[in-house]
């Protein structure tokens, strides 16, 4: 290191500090700026997430409970993630200013990699939280169904979401995920086929029910005949129509209304 | 020298079951050790009690509350006819402060449990209608007392035993009691004459209905007006439940099978 006088930057830095080259000062300033920016982004992000009602909507998920257990929260983690990202970027820029030769090589690789890593981590966290939330919501909905085996549905849904998030995250950081994607596609296809085959009747009924809802060709209290059943309409919902006569209540799927048509009886 | 506990000993002697009304978990823990039946009666089973009767309304009247609990427990065979039951209740706000000893038998039976649990309409729908009516009774319309008549359940038959007084504002609408907007809406519509008809699943089928069932054999307390008579009569002719808000005395009364089952004062809720 030569003892050359410090370069003039409007003012003279004297004493022992004067020996530090100016580019180090610049790098230091960049780093401090990045730190400041990171802090600001963390604050703003946390505020925004809180404003958007994130803490309430993910309350009770396993992820939130775990991070609460280690004394932080999902909001804090997500907002701090962006902060760390900016800080890291600042550090790289600062390094490249201070030691151009060393950082140049690192720079080209790292700048490409860090954003994807950041996105991958974000996807993972969002995936885990969404999966947890879906499990929670489903089990809440299914609580009235008193069937022990039904407990598998929320779990399957949760791990499906985890899996998708996992594949997306791996894809982000450039790991070969082709086999996993094929597996996912097969799984999704099976699900669709299953839903269509099993739920065909329900789907057609719901479509017919939608028409009945919008147009209301018959209402509660009308006497109608659908196929062989004749009676007074007691209830219409999306899937079925309840028809009652002489204390017998027929529950007719709505697609039959379209299959066979209905007769509205105007006077007995 | 005798202590109050000695004197009141016969209150707790030979109880077949103990009913605890709306206990906190700490309070309930004390009863778990008890041999014999312990039944929790509360709006929700917060203490995970094995034997539980859901209370749809926080009955202010202790007699109604105990009746509901006893009838509910009898209906579910938690207690048998003739069992001696000790009811631990809170009469004034706050902690449990009273023990009432009752005998569970048919004479207790007023039908208040059946009104909610075994009506044609869903229990939740009946509860929602009660809530709407109580709200209406408390606030009235623009500060003036209003009357209202809700016929819940068996809507098809009710519609056939009534006729419209004017255009039905709920035609082609899909509004259910319990929807958040309904309170305001019904408050506005309550100035209309006639009855509201609500289906088993809670859909508001019609307003402005003039009920015309036969009123033979309907026995309601003398002094109640035409609205109550119409409500009681329609529940006799159909399987519906009628919930009536009286304009003159502000009471909410529920009829089923042509009989007055429950009478509550909205101001208590």
B202 with B145, same domain? yes
Q: Determine the Cα–Cα distance for residues B146 and B135; give it in Å rounded to an integer.
A: 11
| Domain range for B128 | 119-268
Q: Determine the Cα–Cα distance for residues B231 and B242; give it in Å rounded to an integer.
A: 5
CA distance B44 to chain A (A): 14
CB A27 within 8 A of CB A95: yes
Q: What is the pLDDT of residues B42-96, one digit of tens each?
A: 888 878 778 888 888 888 888 888 888 888 888 888 888 888 888 888 888 778 8
> B199 vs A234: CB contact, 8 Å cut-off?
yes
B131 with B171, same domain? yes
Q: What CATH number does the domain located at A218-265 have?
A: 2.30.30.60
How many other CB atoms sit within 10 Å of the CB of residue A150? 13
A238: contact with B, CB 8 A cutoff: no
Q: What is the pLDDT of residues A129-177, one digit of tens each?
A: 888 888 888 888 887 776 777 778 888 888 889 988 998 888 888 888 8
CA B193 to chain centre: 24
> A234 vs B205: CB contact, 8 Å cut-off?
no
B108 with B131, same domain? no
DSSP B111: S
User: Final residue of a domain: which of B114, B136, B160?
Assistant: B114
B26 with B100, same domain? yes
B145 with B96, same domain? no
Write out the E strands in B71-222: 83-89, 98-104, 148-152, 162-164, 195-198, 204-211
Residues in chain A where the model's pLDDT stays below 70: 1-18, 100-112, 146, 268
pLDDT bucket at B120, cuts 50 / 70 / 90: confident
B20 with B143, same domain? no
CA B106 to chain centre: 19
B22 with B108, same domain? yes
pLDDT bucket at B253, cuts 50 / 70 / 90: very high
**For chain A, domain boundaries:** 20-175, 218-265
B173: contact with A, CB 8 A cutoff: no
Consecutive H or E run containing B64: helix B62-75
* Total number of domains constituting chain B: 2
B178 with B90, same domain? no
> A237 vs B201: CB contact, 8 Å cut-off?
yes
**Cβ contacts of B6 within 8 Å, gap of 6 or more:** none
User: Final residue of a domain: which of B89, B114, B139?
Assistant: B114
Which residues on B lie below 8 Å from A251 (Cβ)? none
B136 with B249, same domain? yes
Residue B130: which CATH number?
Answer: 3.40.1700.10
Q: Determine the Cα–Cα distance for residues A136 and A141; give it in Å rounded to an integer.
A: 9
**Cβ contacts of B85 within 8 Å, gap of 6 or more:** B15, B16, B17, B18, B19, B70, B73, B79, B101, B102, B103, B104
User: Final residue of a domain: which of B61, B86, B114?
Assistant: B114
> A221 vs B160: CB contact, 8 Å cut-off?
yes
B160: contact with A, CB 8 A cutoff: yes
Q: In chain A, whose CA is at the least distance from the CA of B156? A: A221
Residue B39: which CATH number?
Answer: 3.40.1380.20
């Amino acid at each position: 290191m030569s003892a050359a006088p410090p370069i003039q930057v409007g003012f003279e830095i004297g004493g022992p500090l004067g020996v530090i080259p100016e580019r180090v000062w610049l790098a230091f300033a960049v780093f401090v700026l990045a730190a400041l920016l990171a802090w600001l982004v963390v604050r703003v992000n946390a505020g925004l997430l809180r404003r958007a009602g994130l803490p309430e909507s993910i309350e009770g998920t396993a992820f939130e409970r775990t991070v609460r257990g280690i004394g932080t929260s999902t909001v804090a983690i997500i907002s701090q993630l962006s902060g760390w990202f900016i800080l890291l970027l600042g550090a790289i820029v600062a390094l490249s200013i201070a030691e151009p030769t060393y950082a140049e090589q690192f720079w080209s690789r790292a700048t490409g990699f860090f954003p994807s890593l950041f996105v991958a981590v974000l996807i993972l966290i969002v995936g885990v939280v969404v999966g947890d939330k879906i499990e929670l919501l489903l089990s809440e909905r299914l609580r009235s169904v008193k069937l022990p085996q039904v407990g598998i549905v929320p779990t399957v849904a949760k791990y499906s979401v985890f899996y998708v998030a996992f594949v997306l995250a791996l894809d982000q950081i450039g790991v070969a995920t082709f086999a996993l994607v094929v597996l996912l596609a097969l799984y999704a296809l099976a699900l669709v086929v299953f839903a269509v085959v099993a739920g065909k009747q329900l789907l057609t009924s719901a479509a017919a029910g939608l028409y009945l809802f919008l147009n209301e060709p018959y209402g509660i209290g009308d006497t109608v005949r659908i196929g062989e059943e004749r009676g007074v309409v007691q209830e219409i919902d999306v899937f079925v129509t309840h028809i009652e006569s002489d204390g017998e209540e027929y529950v007719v799927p709505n697609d039959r209304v379209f299959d066979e048509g209905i007769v509205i009886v105007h006077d007995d | 020298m005798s202590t109050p506990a000695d004197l009141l000993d016969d209150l707790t002697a030979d109880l077949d079951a103990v009913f605890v009304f709306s206990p906190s978990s700490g309070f309930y823990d004390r009863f778990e050790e008890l041999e014999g039946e312990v039944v929790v009666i509360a709006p929700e089973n917060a203490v995970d009690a094995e034997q539980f009767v859901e209370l749809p309304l926080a009955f202010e009247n202790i007699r109604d509350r105990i009746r509901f609990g006893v009838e509910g427990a009898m209906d579910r065979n938690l207690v048998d006819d003739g069992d001696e039951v000790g009811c631990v209740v809170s009469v004034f706000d706050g902690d449990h402060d009273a023990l009432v000893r009752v005998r569970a038998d048919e004479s207790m039976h007023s039908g208040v449990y059946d009104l909610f649990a075994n009506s044609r309409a869903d229990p939740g729908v009946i509860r929602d209608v009660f809530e709407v009516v109580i709200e209406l009774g408390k606030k009235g319309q623009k500060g003036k007392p209003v009357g209202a008549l809700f016929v819940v359940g068996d809507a098809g038959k009710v519609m056939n035993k009534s006729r419209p007084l004017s255009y039905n504002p709920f035609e082609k609408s899909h509004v259910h009691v319990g929807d958040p907007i309904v309170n305001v809406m019904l408050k506005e519509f309550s100035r209309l004459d006639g009855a509201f008809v609500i289906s088993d699943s809670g859909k508001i089928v019609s307003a402005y209905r003039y009920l015309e069932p036969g009123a033979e054999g309907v026995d309601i307390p003398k002094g109640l007006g035409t609205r109550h008579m119409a409500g009681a009569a329609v529940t006799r002719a159909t399987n519906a439940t009628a919930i009536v808000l009286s304009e003159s005395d502000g009471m909410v009364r529920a009829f089923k099978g042509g009989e007055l089952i429950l009478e509550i004062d909205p101001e208590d809720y």
